Amino acid sequence: MMEIDENDLKKGPWTPEEDQKLIDYIQKHGHGSWRALPKLAGLNRCGKSCRLRWTNYLRPDIKRGKFSEEEEHIIINLHAVLGNKWSAIASHLPGRTDNEIKNFWNTHLKKKLLQMGIDPVTHRPRTDLDLLSNLPQLLAAANLANPWVDNVLRLQSDATQLAKIQVLNNIIQVLSSAPAPNMEAINHFRSSSILPDQHQLYEYLQMNSKLEGLLVNGSIGFPSTHDQMQSKLSNYEANFQLPQLSGDHQPAQNIINGLKNYTSSNSDCVDQVANSSYSIPPSNVLPNLVSASPDQCSSIVSQIENQINSNDIISNDPSSISTTFEPLGDIMENEASDSYWKDFIEQASSQSWPMS
């Protein structure tokens, strides 16, 4: 425990006597040179150890005890902007030291954010999926010819519908992660006249995690039946109470309505595929598929793939969302019976998203 280093300087925990010596000396003389201080104060410690003891523990203006909820919010929000700049964060919290904040972050806040589904490093919703980068595989999945399924041809068209739903599922994930607070967004708020308070920003972070949780918490990240899909959407709708940061939530509502309508009108398809021996793999582990589809299905899929490749829409950059929807809209236009699909894509792409 207690240790003496090679220069006979004491290390380890400070005794009350040592604390008192340090306090007395600094109150009388100020700390001056930390290197010279221990000798002058009669302490058998190195200057660095004295400085740390003073700045992290003995300073009279130190606030001890539990962090308040407001302090928590401030730390989280500042961390989103500043990263691990503990001293910079501490400067916004009178009475708190960088060491204390760092410890609090590592032992409490980090876990809390993870539990909320927020990546404590990026402050964006955690996602194990590579979102739109799965799109080509996903769409290829519509071109099904699963050797384990007897009624391959019927399932092929069903799977096409299902793939679309999963595309929408991914779109929601992209949208829900798009407005995650980042440097730019927070700076925007700072300079704007609609500066939100810390609580609003915090609620906003929580909202992101709710969205993500609803979408990815399922065992395979996708509702397996029509009923589950509808139930998920209802939950999503019920939870969709974004803080009023910068306007309406119409895009999100459109998406929810769109998915509800779409899954309603295709409930047979969703249930059939889900209940068949064809199982929907996790969206990030799509199977290798053999092309053997009816003309219509095959043609749609290849068009989608071509469009995706030619428009280079695979991106994790949230700012690319609006352009992402444009080629999809064009593609869907070719399927006359799915005019709603196109409307939905257009609606989603034409509306701006809060904070984006």
Partner DNA sequence: AATGCCGCCAACCGCGAAGCT
Partner DNA sequence: GAGCTTCGCGGTTGGCGGCAT
278 binds DNA (CB under 7 A): no
**Nearer of residues 61 and 150 to DNA, judged by Cβ:** 61
52 binds DNA (CB under 7 A): yes
34 binds DNA (CB under 7 A): yes
Cβ atoms of residues 34 and 51 within 8 Å = yes
**Nearer of residues 91 and 187 to DNA, judged by Cβ:** 91
Question: Measured between alpha carbons, how far is residue 67 from residues 16, 207, 288, 321, 324 in Å?
Answer: 25, 23, 51, 38, 43
49 binds DNA (CB under 7 A): yes
Query: Amino acid identity of 12?
Result: G
51 binds DNA (CB under 7 A): yes
Q: Taking the complex as a whole, how short is the minimal distance between the CB of residue 352 and DNA, in angstroms?
A: 35
Q: Which of 57, 92, 230, 249 binds DNA (CB under 7 A)?
A: 57
What string marks each residue from 247 to 266 as x (binds DNA by CB under 7 A) or -?
A: --------------------
Cβ atoms of residues 213 and 108 within 8 Å = no
Which residues 6+ apart lie within 8 Å of 254 measured at CB? 344, 347, 348, 351
Give the number of other CB atoms < 10 A from CB of residue 284. 16
39 binds DNA (CB under 7 A): no
Cβ atoms of residues 53 and 46 within 8 Å = no
Q: 141: which 2 tokens?
A: 């999945």
**If we measure between CA atoms, which residue out of 227, 49, 214, 199 comes closest to residue 125?**
214
102 binds DNA (CB under 7 A): yes
Q: Taking the complex as a whole, how short is the minimal distance between the CB of residue 63 and DNA, in angstroms?
A: 12
Stretch that binds DNA, among 21-29, 98-106, 171-179, 275-283 (CB under 7 A): 98-106
Q: Which of 43, 73, 104, 242 binds DNA (CB under 7 A)?
A: 104
**If we measure between CA atoms, which residue out of 42, 6, 10, 12 comes closest to residue 25?**
42
338 binds DNA (CB under 7 A): no
Stretch that binds DNA, among 79-87, 115-123, 167-175, 348-356 (CB under 7 A): 79-87
Q: Which of 35, 39, 190, 199 binds DNA (CB under 7 A)?
A: 35
**Nearer of residues 6 and 150 to DNA, judged by Cβ:** 6
Q: Which of 6, 17, 61, 107 binds DNA (CB under 7 A)?
A: 107
Q: Which of 24, 42, 56, 187 binds DNA (CB under 7 A)?
A: 56
**Nearer of residues 55 and 299 to DNA, judged by Cβ:** 55
Q: Which of 23, 44, 81, 88 binds DNA (CB under 7 A)?
A: 88
**Nearer of residues 23 and 256 to DNA, judged by Cβ:** 23
Stretch that binds DNA, among 53-61, 123-131, 198-206, 247-255 (CB under 7 A): 53-61
100 binds DNA (CB under 7 A): yes
Question: Measured between alpha carbons, how far is residue 288 from residues 93, 137, 138 in Å?
Answer: 54, 8, 10
Q: Taking the complex as a whole, how short is the minimal distance between the CB of residue 191 and DNA, in angstroms?
A: 24
99 binds DNA (CB under 7 A): yes
Contacts for 232-239 with beta carbons within 8 Å, 24 or more apart? 233/259, 233/260, 233/263, 236/172, 236/211, 239/210, 239/211, 239/214
271 binds DNA (CB under 7 A): no
20 binds DNA (CB under 7 A): no
d(CA 106, CA 75): 12
Residues near DNA, by CB under 7 A: 1, 5, 10-14, 32-36, 47-49, 51-53, 56-57, 84-88, 98-100, 102-104, 106-108, 111
